[in-house]
Amino acid sequence: MKTLKFDFSNMGGICRMYAIPPSCIRRVRKDYMTGLYYVDFRNYDNIIFIPIYADDTFYFNEDQSFDNPGDGYSINIGGVIPKLMFENTSDISILERGQWYVLFADNNGRVKLAGDDEVRLKFLTHKTTGTRAADRNQIAFTFSSIQENPTIDITPDDIDKIY
């Protein structure tokens, strides 16, 4: 018999995030002994680091569904880029027009890669100044896709190579 394990030392949220264009990844390989995957990078030149702003604004959701062709996984990874800044205009435009892998670490130390060879994530934005001075002037964003497979666990060493 198998038993699910629980770890009650549990924190929500994401602590690091990178948008990676397909041209930067040579391959993703699996270590069958550990079950972890490793990302072999071709280069780091066009990877976009998205700093985490405020503890309550970054999230990851993966919803499994089943339909006629089989399992599907709806992936949503989102957050907030504070203040509509001119200095970010070019990078935001690149993100909006590209297709991405997203490598991220959660606050429990788990590193995951979303996107695969068949399906990559699309960067969608909602820009707002708010209506009151106390509101956030921001770009709320979501990386989204529907994939045949769930996100994969990546060795934590791979995210450390980037930063």
pTM exceeding the 0.75 threshold for the entire prediction: yes
The reported pLDDT for the residue numbered 19 is 97
The reported pLDDT for the residue numbered 146 is 94
| Helix count and strand count (H, E) for the chain | 2, 11
Residues in the chain where the model's pLDDT stays below 50: none
83/139 Cα distance (integer angstroms): 7
pLDDT of residue 163: 60
- pLDDT number for residue 44: 92
